[in-house]
Amino acid sequence: MKKNFYFKFKGFNNSFKSLYYTFSFGLILILIFFVTPKLVVLKDNLVIKSVEVKNQSKNDLEKVLSGKKISEEQNEELDNLQVFEDIFQYEEIPTSSVRLTASTIKQLFKDTKYSLKNVRKSKIVKPVNLELLPNEMKMIESTKERKKLFIQIVLPLILEENNQIKLDRKKLFAILNRSNNSNSEKKWLNMKFKQYGVKNKDLLTLKIRMDEIPVSLAIAQAAKETGWGTSRFALEGNALFGQWTFSGNGLKPLDADSDKSHKVMKFQVLQASVRAYFRNLNTHSSYRDFRKIRASARDNNEKLDSLILADFLDAYAATGLEYTKILKKIINQNALQDFDDVKLLPNSELLKKII
């Protein structure tokens, strides 16, 4: 009977099994299609997090934030095209700058009540941004007047560059204090890694390189390299810091040996020269010790002292240690450290947040 019963209902059982298998297989397919995208997103998130920042770099910066000692910055060859890319962009701007005369500039400063005496007292500088030096710089007979005019011109430019770095450092540390970074933050970090020649996305190196330069030190170097604004390189090429280039775009020194191929970099505007100088000190291997001492001062909550940092710029000129002595002499004789704590009046809401 059991055998007959089996054969009697065999077709029904096969249909039931087919329906069961079809339903089960369909359910499995639905689960696969539902789960697979989530697994892909999870995988992508894990990959993004792993390449977003080097874990060790973030750990190092957490040590910095807590006051602990960390290892040194990376040491690698720079890609100058990337490091100076934003500076080269100044050259793409059509030449429209008007070279004001010395008398016009002096009147402008007088009208805006911008004097070094007031700056030393109020610690405030108005954002008067000049693009070119006046041709009459070398015709100003009074050394005191020439120095005063030169400082008035370059001071806002240096402060502007330091302000930009302050904003960048503030953004960097804000990013580090978040567990997850947005796409715009990761894009910004990648741009800064390129600008500061940082490989392997090492945040510690970026933190060491992305930092300010004392105003007094920058003024002293500009004064030394240009003869207080009277050099041919400054007047013809807006070169305030005598940086060399081996490309075709530069000014050849008149007294250079015939076998020397270097030229002095020239710029469209003075601000580009200032930015190139900052980027040079903040990335080139010759100034690694300069950055190390600066970072140490930061870690100890100490003020950046130009007279100390100047000692680590002996590689800037062929005269070596003699060059550093001259810089310190310029700083002391002209009381340039008075300008280290001055503020540039903000010309945007963003800058107001750091003043």
User: Has residue 42 got a pLDDT over 50?
Assistant: no
Going by their DSSP bridges, the two strands 343-344 and 124-125 should be labelled as parallel
321 pLDDT higher than 90: yes
| Model confidence pLDDT, tens digit, residues 184-198 | 999 999 999 999 999
Dihedral sign for Cα 186, 209, 226, 251, please.
negative
Query: Count of residues for the chain?
Result: 355
Tell me: pLDDT of 153 over 90: yes
Lowest average pLDDT, out of 30-39, 141-150, 235-244, 330-339, goes to 30-39
Chain segment 51-96, per-residue pLDDT in tens: 333 334 444 444 444 444 445 676 666 666 677 677 766 666 555 5
* 53 vs 320: CA distance, rounded Å: 38
* Lowest pLDDT segment from 21-30, 234-243, 268-277: 21-30
pLDDT of residue 60: 47
Distance of CA 39 to the CA centre of its chain: 38
Cα 140 from Cα 230, distance rounded (Å): 10
| pLDDT-derived band at 21, boundaries 50, 70, 90 | low
DSSP codes, 292-316: HHHHHHHHTTPPP-HHHHGGG-GGG
Q: What is the pLDDT of residue 179?
A: 81
Range scoring the smallest mean pLDDT among 43-47, 219-223, 335-339? 43-47
Contact present, 68 and 59 (Cβ < 8 Å): no
CA–CA dist 165, 213 (Å, integer): 10
Distance between CA atoms of 38 and 232, rounded to whole angstroms? 64
Does 114 or 39 have the greater pLDDT score? 114
CA distance 6 to 13: 9
Does residue 170 have a pLDDT over 50? yes
d(CA 186, CA 178): 12
Among 250, 54, 275, 19, which residue's Cα sits nearest to residue 163?
275
- For the ranges 13-22, 103-112, 234-243, the one whose mean pLDDT is highest: 103-112
Gap between the Cα atoms of 231 and 181, Å rounded = 47
Arithmetic mean of pLDDT over the chain: 80
DSSP H helices in the chain:
2-8, 10-52, 55-65, 80-83, 85-88, 102-111, 116-122, 143-176, 183-195, 203-209, 215-226, 232-237, 270-283, 288-299, 306-309, 321-333, 349-352
Q: How far apart are CA 87 and CA 270, in angstroms?
A: 11
Over residues 96-152, the pLDDT tens digits come to 578 999 999 999 999 999 999 999 999 999 999 999 999 999 999 999 999 999 999
Which letter, b or e, does each residue of 52-89 get, where b requires 16 or more Cβ atoms within 10 Å of its Cβ? bbbeebeebbeebeeeeebeebbeeebebeebbeebee
Region for residue 320 given its phi and psi (left: phi exceeds 0; alpha: psi -120 to 50; beta: otherwise) = left
Question: What per-residue confidence (pLDDT) applies to 344?
Answer: 95
User: Could you please report the per-residue DSSP string of 218-233?
Assistant: HHHHHHHHHTTTTSHH
CA distance 343 to 355: 7
What three-state secondary structure class fits 117?
helix
d(CA 340, CA 217) in angstroms, rounded, equals 9
121 Cβ partners below 8 Å, 6+ apart? none
Kindly tell me if the per-residue pLDDT of 258 is higher than 80: no
Q: Which fold has domain 54-352?
A: Lysozyme (1.10.530)
| 325 vs 74, residue with greater confidence | 325
- C-alpha 96/C-alpha 258 separation (Å) is 35
Determine the pLDDT at residue 24. Answer: 58
